């Protein structure tokens, strides 16, 4: 499932956070890439553990925990501390897969990357190119979103970032371990949750209770974390 999640950050948050990121310590993006990805990755990233990045990341995670659409779709068990990248003219990230397991730097913890997320922070009119291109069973999708909006997609997808031909693109990217490992099962629960919410507005109180019971019993059956 490919899902666009609006309003992860408000305009006020983006406006406040953006300059702190610009002033942070930027290093070669190959720092967090695996051996194969490093060969096709040309961008910069903020050093992991940089105070500005850590503060911005915590604000993103706090916003996500309050975002009903994200929680329903991702059923998050763990969220990787958000990273930040910048693509400038001529930079790109060729086709690659994200590592299945990622150690959280500086901790003994690791997460299984069920879902990948990219949160766009630069207004789209400030750069050309830089689309995130995701391949799934429904074809190829090109994604470029306004600041504060996020795309959520299965980490199992092949994906790449097209070269920037003008300006620069700064985004946050990270991974989510879901309580429900299987993408299909998670998608069913999301559809069921949305359907129940729609029915609640037209039915009498209590009439959707048996469906809500089915939802929670499926979640109980499928949740592994």
Q: How far is the CB of 96 from Ni ion (least distance, A)?
A: 6
Rg (CA), the chain: 18
Toward Ni ion, which CB reaches closer, 112 or 215? Answer: 112
Chain position whose Cβ is nearest to Ni ion? 98
Q: How far is the CB of 41 from Ni ion (least distance, A)?
A: 9
Q: How far is the CB of 33 from Ni ion (least distance, A)?
A: 9
Toward Ni ion, which CB reaches closer, 98 or 183? Answer: 98
Toward Ni ion, which CB reaches closer, 13 or 32? Answer: 32
Token pair for residue 193?
């949750």
Phi, psi of 100, rounded to the nearest 5 degrees:
-70, -35
d(CA 149, CA 42): 23
Note whether 80 and 175 are within 8 A (CB): yes
Toward Ni ion, which CB reaches closer, 98 or 114? Answer: 98
Q: Which residue has the tokens 């974390």?
A: 225
Torsion of CA 164, 13, 141, 176, to 10 degrees: 110
Number of residues that bind Ni ion (CB under 5 A): 1
Note whether 64 and 79 are within 8 A (CB): yes
The only residue of 24, 33, 76, 98 in contact with Ni ion, by rule CB under 5 A:
98
Q: Which stretch binds Ni ion (CB under 5 A): 20-28, 95-103, 125-133, 216-224?
A: 95-103
Token pair for residue 222?
């499928």
Q: How far is the CB of 163 from Ni ion (least distance, A)?
A: 16
Q: How far is the CB of 92 from Ni ion (least distance, A)?
A: 12
CB-count exposure of residue 184 (10 Å: 0-12, 13-18, 19+)? exposed
Toward Ni ion, which CB reaches closer, 94 or 200? Answer: 94
Toward Ni ion, which CB reaches closer, 13 or 129? Answer: 129
Q: Which residue has the tokens 């915590």?
A: 58
Q: Name the 3-class secondary structure at 21.
A: helix
Q: Which stretch binds Ni ion (CB under 5 A): 43-51, 59-67, 71-79, 94-102?
A: 94-102
Which residues in this chain contact Ni ion in the complex, by CB under 5 A?
A: 98
């Amino acid at each position: 499932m490919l899902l666009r999640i609006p309003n992860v950050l408000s305009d006020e948050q983006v406006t406040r956070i953006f300059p702190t990121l610009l002033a942070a310590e930027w290093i070669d993006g190959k720092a967090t890439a695996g051996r194969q990805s490093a060969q096709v990755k040309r961008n910069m990233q903020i050093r992991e553990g940089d105070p500005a990045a850590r503060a911005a990341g915590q604000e993103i995670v706090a916003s996500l925990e309050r975002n009903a659409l994200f929680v329903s779709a991702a059923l998050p068990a763990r969220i990787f501390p958000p990273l930040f990248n910048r693509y400038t003219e001529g930079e790109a990230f060729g086709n690659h897969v994200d590592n299945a397991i990622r150690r959280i730097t500086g901790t003994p913890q690791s997460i299984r990357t069920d879902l990948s997320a990219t949160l766009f922070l630069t207004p789209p009119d400030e750069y050309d190119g830089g689309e995130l291109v995701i391949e799934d069973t429904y074809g190829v999708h090109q994604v470029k979103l306004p600041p504060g909006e996020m795309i959520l997609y299965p980490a199992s997808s092949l994906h790449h970032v097209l070269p920037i031909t003008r300006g620069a693109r700064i985004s946050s990217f990270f991974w989510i371990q879901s309580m429900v490992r299987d993408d299909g099962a998670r998608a069913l629960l999301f559809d069921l949750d949305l359907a129940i919410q729609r029915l609640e507005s037209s039915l009498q109180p209590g009439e959707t209770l048996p469906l809500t019971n089915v939802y929670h019993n499926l979640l109980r059956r499928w949740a592994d974390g």
